[in-house]
Chains A and B, each alone.
Chain A
Amino acid sequence: MSGTTDKDIDALVEARVQALLDERLGPLVDERVARALAAQEVKAEADGQGQLDRIAIVASKGSLDMAYPPLILATTATAMGMEAGIFFTFYGLDIIHKRKYASLKVPPLANPAMPVPVPNLIGALPGMTFMATAMMKSWMGRVKLQSVPDFIEMAKDLGVTLISCQMTMDVMGVKKDDLVDGVTIGGAATFLEYAGKSKISLFV
């Protein structure tokens, strides 16, 4: 008789615990799972829908060597069917400055990657920037790399969006007339909106 009663009690307890679990834990688990699924959906939306086949590049340097990466990447991107946009800021403005973009220079000073066979400090002497620039230009000429002005024309022809930083223009006193044709003017928000939808964003 007591054995049956124990089993009955066990069964009752089990049933009661199960009922409590379903009542209290069940909704909690459902809510957690629903939240996790919703978070995943938001992430999937951001990843899948938001990103255009587009590259956004900030060009912030004005030396001869640093003018090329943004231009080469942007033009090649358009050749591969992507959209491309370059945001020129600070010294990068020289790349689209009518009076400066044909004479960009590269300094050997503080640039230990330059294979000038003299101690780095010598790079501070007058004439060294001229020599380093001439050397780099001759290398570029040997492989027939186009000049920066030619690249800008090619970029415009291929539909690359060129944006000039308004703030830099104010800081450095650059007017719209100083810039090549076909450049739009914008601020940080313009670039961030453009880049926010781009698959690839780079800072040069």
Chain B
Amino acid sequence: MVTNIDQGEDVPVTHRLDCRGLSCPLPIIMTKRAIDALAPGEMLEMSATDPGSVNDMAAWTAKTGHELVGSAEADGVFTFTIRKVGQDAGLR
């Protein structure tokens, strides 16, 4: 379970993706692959140490239409929670 930073409610995470130590563009590419494997509505939690991933995840969710539910940082690790939106959200 992870706390939804914005709404303070607990949401079940379907899959956790560890991208710590990886640099651009791997966090984005691995997030894309992980989201592809989920069903619409399921949640992905991705953690990364790449500071660029904060803006990258905002840009990626804006472009693909998936929902960036929460974003937090602790001790240099950035954690993002993404909800997969329907199949036709712009992905190939």
- Given A80-B64, A81-B91: A143 touches B32 (CB 8 Å cut-off): no
Interface 9-mer from B16-24, B39-47, B76-84: B16-24
Q: Find B29's partner among A75, A81, A83, A145 (CB 8 Å cutoff).
A: A75
Q: Which of A72, A81, A143, A144 makes the CB contact (< 8 A) with B92?
A: A81
Cβ of A138 within 8 Å of any chain B Cβ, yes or no, is: no
Q: Which of B5-60 contact A (CB under 8 A)?
A: 21-26, 28-29, 31-32, 59-60
CB-CB nearest in chain A for B23: A143
Q: How far is the CA of A133 from the CA of B25 in the complex (A)?
A: 22
A83 CA to B92 CA, complexed, in Å: 8
Contact indicator A144/B23 (Cβ below 8 Å): yes
B interface footprint on A81-102 (CB within 8 Å = 1, 0 otherwise): 1010000000000000000000
Query: What total of chain B residues lie within 8 Å of the partner, measured CB to CB?
Result: 18
A81 touches B63 (CB 8 A): yes
Is the Cβ of A72 less than 8 Å from the Cβ of B91? no
Residue of B23, B25, B90 touching A75 (CB-CB under 8 A): B25
Is A154 an interface residue when CB atoms closer than 8 A count as contact? yes
Secondary structure call for the A interface:
mixed
Which of chain A's residues has its CB closest to B27's CB? A79
Output the least CB separation between A56 and chain B (Å).
Answer: 16
Which A residues lie within 8 Å of B23 (CB)? 143-145
Instruction: Pick the most buried of A75, A76, A78, A83: most chain B CB atoms within 10 A of its CB.
Output: A76
Instruction: Tell me which residues from 112 to 139 in chain A have a Cβ below 8 Å from any Cβ of chain B.
Output: none
Chain A residues with CB under 8 A of B59: 80
The reply to whether B21 and A144 form a contact with Cβ atoms under 8 Å apart is yes
Q: Is the CB of B92 within 8 A of A78?
A: yes
Interface residues of B (CB under 8 A from A): 21-26, 28-29, 31-32, 59-60, 63-64, 89-92
Return 16 A-B CB contacts under 8 Å, by A number.
Answer: A72-B24, A72-B25, A75-B29, A76-B25, A76-B29, A78-B32, A79-B29, A79-B32, A79-B60, A80-B59, A80-B63, A81-B90, A81-B92, A83-B92, A144-B21, A158-B29
